[in-house]
Structure 1
Amino acid sequence: MALFINFLIIALIIGAAGYQIYRVVKRAKKGKCAACDYDCEAKKMLNKAQKQQN
């Protein structure tokens, strides 16, 4: 029984990692970086530059 639980936990961890990799690849194909969800300094600079051009 303990062996089955260990395999189940390992499968969940590998599945979650695979899902995260899938999301990163899917987002990268759209041309977005992995940190697009965060308000980082580079994003602030880009937004400021775009506002100045308009």
Structure 2
Amino acid sequence: MGLLINIFVLALIFGFAGYQIYRAVKRSKQGKCAACDYDCEAKKMLNQSKKHPV
């Protein structure tokens, strides 16, 4: 029974990892970076420079 649970948990982990890789590859083909969902410092600086050009 314990082996079956371990296999199930492993399948969930690998399935989720595969899904995340698929999403990253799909976005990179569209020209977006993998971190487009996050509000990182680089993204804040880019948005700020677009609002206030020097």
Please say whether Structure 1 and Structure 2 have the same fold, judged by a TM-score greater than 0.5: yes
Q: Paired residue for 1:10?
A: 10
Q: Paired residue for 1:50?
A: 50
RMSD value, Cα = 1.4
- Cα offset, 1:52, TM superposition: 4.2
How does the TM-score come out when normalised to structure 2?
0.77
Count of matched residue pairs: 53
Deviation above 4 Å: which 4+ runs of structure 1?
none
How does the TM-score come out when normalised to structure 1?
0.77
Structure 1 letter corresponding to 2:2: A
Instruction: For structure 2, list consecutive stretches of 5 or more residues without a partner in the other structure.
Output: none
